[in-house]
Amino acid sequence: MGTGDRLGVHLAHTLAAGMTGMRAAGDLVARMQMTRGMRLKEAKLFVADRLGVSTRELSDSVVMQEVRRELGIGLLSDLENECVGEASAMEAKFNIAELLDLPINCVARFRGRVHSLGGSASTP
Amino acid sequence: MSSTFLTRMGDGAAVEMTRDEIRAEIEDGAEQGARRAKAAALGSDEIDHLVDIFASSARMTGVPVGDEVVLSCDGTMDLRSGKIDALSQAELVGGDLCELALPDYSYKAVKTIVPTEQRLMQDAQYRLTIPVQYGAQADLGRYSVPDGPVPNWSQLLPEARVDEARAAQEEAAFESEADMFRIGEAMWEAGADGIDFDTAGAAGDADFLAVLKTVRRLRAAFPDLSIEVGMASEFVLGMHGELEFEGKRLAGLWPVDQLRVVQEAGATIFGPAVNINTGRTVAWNVARATAIIKPCMDVATIPVHVNAGMGVGGVPMNPCPPIDAVSRASRAFVEVLRADGL
């Protein structure tokens, strides 16, 4: 979007029209657009179906914090710190990959480096 | 006496206008945009909708709950902190994705420090849950003297040495494609979710061709890599004039045809850019951008993220674009254009 130009642009867009990332489910819908090339409506329907929520609830931070905690798909760092057992970033991405049936590059590489997961330390 | 509303000029300066004056601006912007891009005129309902958005005293406006869109970005570094801290901050403030980038924002500059950038990408992937892409621009001019090895076509063209200028651009595009592919490959190896070719076509049709060829090669090599192509402007300059991609001449393409070649190359997100006219109002600029981009929405098979950063997409050309203007542009592109993202 060109938000890198100035932070103020990004904040204003986020408040006016953004899905607000991990506060709700913006990162998940973004992944479907990025990796599958899905248009917005299709991406929202897909993610909502997988999460068992309505498309409106995908942008509802109250609903989504509960859903994210329950599914182990990552909470904002501050919330993560409130409970030591919450999923870290990599753990969350393993769960997201499975939930959305989506290949996540760093997850595949992480898995490939861990011997007990069938990987090898020499995996690039 | 008609009441007035505070609105903005394209440079961000405040200006008072009546609802009728705002409507006149929107009608003129929409008409000029449609004519320039040879696109259909906006409907009266769309004009009315834009008028409602801009003829308002609200400091901040927004889309209806449930109609939010995905926000991508080109560079997440303005917090002036460590790069990964900056990316983490983007996650905290509600970014749907973030982007690792050099302040230089040129792939030619990146190629000398690829291993460092790869390590940062890998660390960012371990730290963040939201997708992390890598971004920069082709920046074709950097390949010409005095910054690069290729003769400078901007010096050759005024001397009417057209064949030499064209050959120089072709050579620069070849070098640029090689660099961008190598960096894309390296970022994939580092775990990147995607790669962003921003400001595509900034140096004209050869610049755009280098991006399209790189996208095609990356798509073939890495089917799951997200590839975003954000344009430099509404119109591809014909600095070369004869370059084609898959039989399509690139010089002179407007957004809908830019989208077609970007889709064909294999990108997963397209970012049309419509430059701002600082001498006209934000309402005029948003209406013009909406008319120019609208044809994309019917032919898109991939998400369209309208470029709405400083100086494009109706957002004022100002280091601190006012919230009232940015939020109106945001709402207009979502509600009237039905953009898939910004």
Is the pLDDT confidence value at B259 over 70? yes
Residues of A in contact with B135 (CB under 8 A): 4
Is the pLDDT confidence value at B283 over 50? yes
Give the number of domains in chain A. Answer: 1
Is the pLDDT confidence value at B170 over 80? yes
pLDDT at A2: 53
Residues of A in contact with B73 (CB under 8 A): 1-4, 10
Is the pLDDT confidence value at B91 over 90? no
The maximal CA–CA distance of chain A, rounded, in angstroms, is: 46
In a domain, A88, yes or no: yes
Question: CA triplet A44, A47, A50: central angle to 5 degrees?
Answer: 145
Q: What is the dihedral of CA B289, B43, B61, A59, to 10 degrees?
A: -90
Residue A47 corresponds to which tokens in the numbers above? 């993610």
Residues of A in contact with B94 (CB under 8 A): 14, 18, 20-23, 26
In a domain, A73, yes or no: yes
pLDDT at B78: 53
Q: Are A89 and B128 in contact (CB under 8 A)?
A: yes
Task: State the DSSP H helix or E strand holding residue B210, giving kind and residue range, or none if neither.
Answer: helix B205-221
Is the pLDDT confidence value at B148 over 50? yes
Residue B85 corresponds to which tokens in the numbers above? 């801290």
pLDDT at B99: 92
Which stretches of chain A score pLDDT less than 50?
A: 4, 124
> Rounded distance, CA A71 to CA A66, Å?
9
pLDDT at B83: 78
In terms of DSSP bridges, do strands B248-249 and B269-271 run parallel, antiparallel, or are they unpaired?
Answer: unpaired
**Residues B228-246: what's their mean pLDDT?**
97
Residue A70 buriedness (CB in 10 A; 0-12 / 13-18 / 19+): exposed
Is the pLDDT confidence value at B86 over 80? no
In a domain, A32, yes or no: yes
Q: Which residues partner with B269 through β-bridges?
A: B228
Range of the domain at A40: 21-117
- Phi, psi dihedral angles at B98 (to 5 degrees): -140, 170
pLDDT at B89: 74
Give the pLDDT confidence of B105-137 residue by residue, as tens digits.
Answer: 999 999 999 999 999 999 999 999 999 999 999
Contact B303 A23 (CB under 8 A): no
In a domain, A4, yes or no: no
pLDDT at A40: 98
Q: What is the dihedral of CA B316, B322, B324, B325, to 10 degrees?
A: 0
**Residues B170-197: what's their mean pLDDT?**
98
Is the pLDDT confidence value at B13 over 50? yes
pLDDT at B79: 46
**Residues B4-30: what's their mean pLDDT?**
97
In a domain, A7, yes or no: no
Q: Are B85 and A44 in contact (CB under 8 A)?
A: no
Residues of A in contact with B188 (CB under 8 A): 105
CA distances from B310 to B116, B164, B264 (A): 29, 36, 29
Contact B131 A34 (CB under 8 A): yes
Half-sphere exposure of A85 (CA within 13 A, CB side): 3
In a domain, A59, yes or no: yes
Q: What is the pTM (predicted TM-score) of this model?
A: 0.94
Is the pLDDT confidence value at B285 over 80? yes
Does domain B4-335 fall under CATH 3.20.20? My reply is yes
- In terms of phi and psi (left: phi > 0; alpha: psi -120 to 50; beta: otherwise), the region of A118 is left
Closest-approach residue (CA) in chain A for B325:
A12
Contact A19 B69 (CB under 8 A): yes
**Residues B29-39: what's their mean pLDDT?**
97
In a domain, A14, yes or no: no
| Closest chain B C-alpha to A97 CA, distance in angstroms | 11
